[in-house]
Amino acid sequence: MSDLEQPPADPDEVISSPGIDMFVPGHAPTNAPLNERKQARRENWRLIRRRPAFLFGVFILTVWVICALLGERITPHDPLDFRAGSHLSPRWEFPFGTDATGRDVLSRVMAGARDVLRIAPLAAFLGVLFGVILGMLMGYLRGWFDTVASRIVEAFLALPVVLIALLAVTTLGSSSWVVTGVVAALFTPIVARTVRSAVLAERDLDYVTSARLRGESNLFIMFREVLPNVMGPIVVELTVRVGYAVFTVATLSFIGAGPPPPSPDWGAQVSENYNSIISGFWWTTFFPAAAIASLVIAVNMIADSVQSVMEAS
């Protein structure tokens, strides 16, 4: 089944890549010497790059990253300038129309990429980092630590993420650092559970036993021996979490726990404007909503491609 999921090998590439015959793609032994592992990684990367969904996702993501990096330097108008007429419908000068206070929606959508792209990837990375550490300790050490931590993780999983984030942001204020930290903290137990089960499958294998007999410290075994072998699920988890982080950050700013008003954040724009849909001003809500959707879909297409290739191997 896993063979069917991979596109057939391209003969040109087989020739152009030295050493391809040394291993079967996707079946590289996990504790193989370093250069073979590197080759397996290169092979995965080649398979990922061939997927149209991946390229499409990268294209959209790149557009938003450019908007976020250049911001006001490339927007057609100043995103905070309210001198245009209010609620102008989309036209040549304002392709996405203007909002209730006469600001250009296109410029605000372009500048709004910055807030979410500054918060979501960092939050996902931190969540995965802490999740890996926690999950590694739980799965490797077992015993009372695992029992207690598993219960707490389970309790966290039963909580609606958005609600707890909202609660915490209300408590600690809605600066972007707080939002980043809260989202990271909420992702930690989810990632920890995945990593824990991956580590459980590894901890009784021979290479761990022999490292223990060699007298290596627990810390060394966990992070130098076991970690490289559970990197697959961790990479998948990271890409998936970035998508969820965008989702969560947008939802948080929609329910009022995002950056404060003049900022052109997408969720905040939807929240400010959805009540005027009823009066027929659909564009002020539609374009930021579509921007959120396009970014989440792009990230998920990338995540999905990474996942299918990683799981096939």
Which residues form the interface with another protein (CB under 8 A)? 1, 4, 53, 151-152, 154-156, 158-164, 166-168, 170-171, 243, 247, 250-251, 254-255, 270, 274, 277-278, 280, 282, 285-286, 289, 292-293, 296-297, 299-301, 304
- Angle of CA points 235, 239, 240, to nearest 5°: 115
Kindly tell me which of 190 and 221 has the beta carbon lying closer to another protein: 190
Nearer to another protein by Cβ, of 178 and 211: the residue is 178
CB of 243 to another protein, least distance (A): 6
**Please, what is the minimum distance in Å from the beta carbon of residue 299 to another protein?**
8
Q: Which is nearer to another protein, 68 or 162 (CB)?
A: 162
| Contact of 195 with 177, CB cutoff 8 Å | no
Q: How far, in Å, CA of 301 to CA of 313, rounded? A: 19
DSSP 310: H
**For another protein, which is the closer residue by CB, 74 or 293?**
293
- Give yes or no for a contact between 230 and 202, defined as CB atoms under 8 angstroms apart: yes
How many angstroms separate the Cα of 178 from the Cα of each of 80, 171, 172, 261?
25, 10, 7, 17
Q: State how far the Cα of 122 lies from the Cα of 217, in Å rounded to an integer.
A: 31
d(C-alpha 104, C-alpha 264), whole Å: 11
CB of 5 to another protein, least distance (A): 8
Shortest Å, Cβ 303 to another protein? 9
- Helix axes 52-70 and 283-312, enclosed angle (nearest 10): 130
**Which residues on adjacent β-strands are paired with residue 98?**
104
Q: Which residues contact 213 (CB under 8 A, 6 or more apart)?
A: none
Nearer to another protein, 226 or 299 (CB): 299
* Shorter beta-carbon distance to another protein: residue 70 or 312: 312
Q: Give the nearest distance from C-beta 36 to another protein in angstroms.
A: 30
How far apart (Å, rounded) are the C-alpha atoms in residues 108 and 100?
A: 13
Q: Report, in Å, the least distance between residue 12 CB and another protein.
A: 23
For residues 134 and 270, which CB has a smaller minimum distance to another protein in the complex?
270
Shortest Å, Cβ 145 to another protein: 16
Nearest to 257 by CA among 313, 173, 193: 173
